[in-house]
Structure 1
Amino acid sequence: MAQTSPTPDSSPQATPDTRSPTCGGGGPGPCTICGQGQDPDIDFTFAYQPIVDGRSGQVFAHEALVRGVAGEPAPSVLDRVVEANRYSFDQACRVRAIDLACDLGLIERGNEKLSINFLPHAVYRPEVCIQTTLQAAHRRGLDVSSIIFEVTEGERIEDGPWFAEILREYRRQGFLTAIDDFGAGYAGLRLLSDFQPDLIKLDMDLVRHVDTLRPRQAIARAVIRLAQDLGIRLVVEGVETAGERDFFLHEGVTLFQGYLFSRPLFRGLASAPLRG
């Protein structure tokens, strides 16, 4: 379940050529914030929740979920993100999520992936804004194909083609892409018509009691068929019962995220163990 960014102002999004001058400064090189990793002046860390193969039990990926430094929930951090620090916060999140996951040994085996939520309204020139993430991955010896960029469907995406171009650029650089909370927000099928990500994550409200509620079963099967037709891998999130898991396993879905498998794991201090 992705953290949700603060609602941006209602002004139309600019085109790529006229977006914020902080990114690229109109020239070909990276901007000052990208190059120096400017501190957004917000204290935060991450908890990590695994995405698990329901048949083998192997971890497919860990999703980085923003938390306060003492484990406070995401809103305690995200409520402090405003227009002035949104870009630097987004950049800092990417680097910190990578560094902490590596420090915890979550992706050291090479076949497990790291899913990072990003704020699309903080991306001005995607080919430039991605450079800090590329540098962090290379510094930690990670193949970029082990990193998934995830955005919640609940984001207000006024400029769908521009958002699709962000995801295309990330894919061109070798990253994987995902849409979180599919079926819950603003983008939905319109977004899929512009861009087909590597993964979509079915919203937990469509998962709850799916084993007993026929309308949700019909919706779930439709999404499964849609994902299959578009060549997109489906992740079922918010799974809390064996019945919910078994319904999707019977339908051929194998990737799951939820309390049935693991709560988000948090380590507040460098010397403290991970805890659920």
Structure 2
Amino acid sequence: MSSEIIKGLPRFAMAFQPIADTMTGAVFAQEALARGRDGEGAVSVFDKVPQSRRHLFESLCRQRALEAVKEIGLGETRISLNVSPEAVLDPEFGILETIRVARTLGLHERQLILEFTEKQKTADIRAIRDLIIPFRKRGMMVALDDFGAGYNGIQTLLELKPDVVKFDMGLINRIDTCEMQQTLISSLAEACSRLDIIVVAEGVETLPQARMLQSMGIALMQGYLFARPAVGLLPAPAEAVMAKLM
């Protein structure tokens, strides 16, 4: 994108955080996350973007992430890219532009995971589903992010039919001590398994949380327990932590 187009937007970098497979020790994917010049989180960065330019900025974040992983060397690891549902269909700055950038960089759709956030109201989910069918056929995965903290969780799940559901950290934070949370997560995980949907637990910060999730059959986890987001590299999950879980 030209310097004129991005003029007035906040300066930022893309950080990466791994989704760890606690059963095998492998990295399932690396999620790309926007960070400000002084390490501010994505919410703080996006708060500085005018509403009229949000789609453009989202597209720029995805482009920067793809360029970064191409430079670092992605290997066979997937890259997970965040997208708000209302931005997907944007003819100029939507997902078609991101796919074009990925192909230009020599990345295949099977290396991509498209994460739809559930913290924003979903647009025309059927139109989105139809638009991305060709890319899913070529191996691109679709994830429903922040599940349990958004507007249309179950309805969106049924209509989008994602490959991955990421349980929001609000469902995970007391999983090792709260029986109600344990019952809910266990039931949701079982339902996803029956629907052939992969489950990822977000915001995992302690070993007791991780062990409880493993006991429910949830192997894929993301959070500070394993690695903090890092700029300029694709971090590996902490070896000491993985050794205690495998």
Scaled by the length of structure 1, the TM-score of the pair is 0.76
Q: Does 1:48 align with 2:8?
A: no
Matches within 5 A, 1:63-78: 63-78=31-46
Aligned residues: 235
SS of the residue aligned with 1:45?
A: strand
Task: Assess if the C-alpha contact under 8 Å between 1:54 and 1:254 holds in 2.
Answer: yes
Matches within 5 A, 1:125-144: 129-144=94-109
Larger Rg: 1
Give me the CA root mean square deviation. Answer: 2.8
Q: Does 1:223 align with 2:191?
A: no
Task: Assess if the C-alpha contact under 8 Å between 1:40 and 1:85 holds in 2.
Answer: no
251, 266, 276: which one pairs with 2:216? 251
30, 39, 50: which one pairs with 2:6? 39
Identical counterparts, % of pairs: 36
Q: Does 1:236 align with 2:201?
A: yes
SS of the residue aligned with 2:33?
A: strand
What is the aligned partner in structure 1 of residue 157 from structure 2? 192
**Residue 94 of structure 1 aligns to which amino acid in structure 2?**
R
User: Distance between the aligned counterparts of 2:132 and 2:118, measured in 1?
Assistant: 13
Task: Assess if the C-alpha contact under 8 Å between 1:47 and 1:265 holds in 2.
Answer: yes
What is the aligned partner in structure 1 of residue 26 from structure 2? 58
Higher relative contact order (CA 8 A, sep 6+): 2
**Residue 56 of structure 1 aligns to which amino acid in structure 2?**
T
Structure 2 unaligned segments of length 5 or more: list them: 236-246
User: Distance between the aligned counterparts of 2:92 and 2:188, measured in 1?
Assistant: 31
Scaled by the length of structure 2, the TM-score of the pair is 0.84
The superposition leaves residues 100-120 of structure 1 with CA deviations (integer Å, 9 ceiling, x where unpaired) of 122233x1x22x110000122
SS of the residue aligned with 2:89?
A: coil
Deviation at 1:169? Answer: 5.7
Rate the CA distance shift 1:191–1:114 in 2: closer, same or farther, 3 A.
Answer: same
The superposition leaves residues 82-131 of structure 1 with CA deviations (integer Å, 9 ceiling, x where unpaired) of 332122212211111111122233x1x22x11000012222335799433
User: Which one has a larger percent helix, Structure 1 or Structure 2?
Assistant: 2
What is the aligned partner in structure 1 of residue 85 from structure 2? 120
User: Distance between the aligned counterparts of 2:225 and 2:87, measured in 1?
Assistant: 34
Q: Does 1:208 align with 2:173?
A: yes
60, 64, 74: which one pairs with 1:96? 64
Deviation at 1:215? Answer: 0.1
Rate the CA distance shift 1:187–1:37 in 2: closer, same or farther, 3 A.
Answer: farther
129, 142, 147: which one pairs with 2:112? 147
User: Distance between the aligned counterparts of 1:130 and 1:75, measured in 2?
Assistant: 21
